[in-house]
Homo-oligomer: A and B are copies of this chain.
């Protein structure tokens, strides 16, 4: 109604009024705000750091068990582009008071051209790579590990202790598994793990699930996406946060449709069961949750939509105190 009125109006105006010529007194800036986001969990300070996003350039094949038109429709329903899939990347910095801890490291210089903004955002948030005491990985996919060591071998966090789930190490560092990996994505994952970790594996600590891996940070098993895929439960006082890592890829697809399986899951059926279990718990306990692949700032709350679907209610950028 307004828009058609507007068109009629502008049609009328253009005959009589010269519109102001573009003088460009102030050129458009384009530059977005630095993408870091602070949260308090009791005495712990969390900072979400964006590493930008990747784009899977088509719909076909992205979801293993849903027709492409249903996938396009789900994206359009969330006002995302419906002819491709946008995959945001968000890591977490945990300042425990005593330790500065990274949960995953982003794509480094090996990701999509629309990614790789991590270091700029990390520095904008007031951090330096030299201050990082510990890096803890949720799993060993390239978009989580490549930020640890750049293409030229530079180790980005020279002071940091490095930790990974024991089950991830066992899977990705097995010569037997590597030998039987399908060419393409799986073989590439094995090569990527070797690139990042082989020269430094002697310095890596392995951890089991249900252990405290940093003060206030518990590793929680969430297998399926990969065999050792891990979430992090962060707690201080009576406040909790659950970093659910890759229990979903794009949240418009997989929070809304938890029975759908993304192409990247090692075991789609186990991943599906894990996804339902975690989303159900998040909704029931009204947990504050953070995703690795949700739109930045990539955290919020889960609500139910019927028996088998969920919504992600994102937190506002400017948090009430």
* Chain A interfacial residues counted at CB < 8 A: 84
Binds B, one of A29-37, A138-146, A162-170, A172-180: A29-37
Residue of B25, B296, B297 touching A131 (CB-CB under 8 A): B25
Q: Is A24 an interface residue (CB 8 A)?
A: yes
Q: Is A307 an interface residue (CB 8 A)?
A: no
Can you list 23 residue pairs at the A/B interface with Cβ under 8 Å?
Answer: A1-B281, A2-B281, A3-B285, A9-B211, A20-B215, A22-B96, A23-B97, A24-B98, A28-B45, A28-B95, A28-B97, A29-B45, A29-B125, A29-B126, A31-B38, A33-B34, A33-B36, A33-B124, A50-B317, A79-B313, A86-B320, A114-B321, A296-B318
Q: Is A108 an interface residue (CB 8 A)?
A: no
**Cβ–Cβ < 8 Å partners of A97 in chain B:** 22-24, 28
**Using a CB-CB cutoff of 8 Å, which residues 290-321 of chain A contact chain B?**
295-297, 300-301, 303, 313-321
Q: Is A53 an interface residue (CB 8 A)?
A: yes
Residue from A2, A88, A235 whose CB has the most chain B CB atoms within 10 Å: A2
Task: Report the bound CA distance from A19 to B81 in whole Å.
Answer: 47
**Cβ–Cβ < 8 Å partners of A32 in chain B:** 37-38, 318-319
Q: Which residue of B lies closest to A221 (CB)?
A: B2
Residue of B6, B19, B29, B79 touching A301 (CB-CB under 8 A): B79
**Cβ–Cβ < 8 Å partners of A10 in chain B:** 212, 218, 235
Contact B31 A33 (CB under 8 A): no
Q: Would you give the shortest CB distance from A77 to chain B, in whole angstroms?
A: 8
Task: Report the bound CA distance from A33 to B296 in whole Å.
Answer: 13
Q: Is A233 an interface residue (CB 8 A)?
A: yes
Q: Is A103 an interface residue (CB 8 A)?
A: no
- Secondary structure type dominating chain A contacts: loop
Q: Interface of A with B (CB < 8 Å)?
A: 1-3, 5-6, 9-10, 13, 17, 19-26, 28-38, 45, 47, 50, 52-53, 55, 77-81, 86, 88, 95-100, 114, 124-127, 131, 133, 210-212, 215, 218, 220, 231, 233, 235, 240, 242, 281, 285-287, 295-297, 300-301, 303, 313-321
Contact A126 B317 (CB under 8 A): no
Contact A50 B318 (CB under 8 A): yes
Contact B313 A98 (CB under 8 A): no
